[in-house]
Amino acid sequence: MNIRKTRFSRATVALLASLSLAVAACTSKEDGQAAQGHQAETTLAHIKQNKAMTVGVKADTPPYGFLPQGSTEPEGFDIDIVHELARRMDVKLNMVEVTSANRIANLTTGKVDFLVSSLVHTRKRDEVIDYSITYFADSQKILVPEGSAIREIEDLAGKRVAVGQGSIQEQIIKAVQPQAKVLSMAKWSDTLQSIQANQVDAIFSAAGVLDGLRKSATSAGMKVAMVGRDGLAPIPYAIGVRQGDADLRDALNRLLMDMVDDGTYEKIFKKWWGEVYDQPYQVEVWPE
């Protein structure tokens, strides 16, 4: 009886072992197929298959992306860039409004395919997402009420300074002027309202953003001035893609370089930056 049990147990073990190997082989094969399928369904493949792309853009940051008075469709430098990308990819463009604070989350959670949203390429962000080549670089300035004694970064010591929440300026101002009283605001339009209400003494941001705010202020009857020397190095702007989306990043890089080659980029640049910069930004273009 004991012998039979022993023989039966060994047979059972052998059977279970063979079944386990078979199951493992099937599972491994299925997992491999699933992994291959997941890898094949990249963001670029998804865009091509659906003939549509969903892009995170700004709607409160002139001249990158903003809503003109009485309009429901955003306009701006980034908006023209993304429309051109969609045209060249021959896909429908769906734009999703993002802010400086939520754009990275919108990208990493898959709510958008990529970001064209005045996104600065930083080392810290590069640990979380990937970037295209730099398509623009902008210097840092200060916007103040007309007649203010503030002229340089040094003058912001002890002053109330508005910055965009989640923007790179949050970190820059703390590094270059740690004595400033920094107030982070959800939208750039909020910073302009704050300076009008005398809640802040200055706004610190990229020159292009401040020039857009200055124009909005002028239209509203506010008197403001953009000040500050060009001592701070220009910061790079790029398209943000999910980590590992190398094929999408490469495709966007090629399209950006094609836009430079055929003169489209220069036309878009002059349209939005002609009053700020004499020459278009020199986008990196690789040789054939």
User: What single string gives the DSSP state of each residue in 31-83?
Assistant: HHHHHHHHHHS-HHHHHHHHTEEEEEE-SEETTTEE--TT-SS-BSHHHHHHH
**Residue 39 falls within a domain, yes or no?**
no
pLDDT of 18 strictly over 60: no
Rounded to whole angstroms, the Cα distance separating 70 from 68 reads 6
Please tell me the predicted confidence (pLDDT) of residue 231. Answer: 57
What is the pLDDT of the chain when averaged over all its residues? Answer: 86
Mean pLDDT of 58-62: 90
pLDDT > 70: percent of the chain: 85
Do 152 and 263 lie in a common domain? Answer: no
Judged by DSSP in three states, 247 sits in helix
> How many residues belong to the chain?
288
Q: Is the peptide bond before 63 cis (omega within 30 degrees of 0)?
A: yes
Do 131 and 248 lie in a common domain? Answer: yes
Pairing status of strand 202-206 against strand 140-145: antiparallel
pLDDT of 16 strictly over 60: no
Please tell me the predicted confidence (pLDDT) of residue 94. Answer: 98
**Residue 241 falls within a domain, yes or no?**
yes
Per-residue confidence band for 69, with pLDDT thresholds at 50, 70 and 90: confident
Mean pLDDT of 29-48: 62
164 neighbors 98 (Cβ within 8 angstroms): no
Range of the domain at 252: 44-137+235-273
Mean pLDDT of 61-80: 92
Do 133 and 240 lie in a common domain? Answer: yes
Do 171 and 48 lie in a common domain? Answer: no
Do 190 and 242 lie in a common domain? Answer: no
Give the lowest-confidence range in 10-14, 130-134, 189-193, 261-265. 10-14
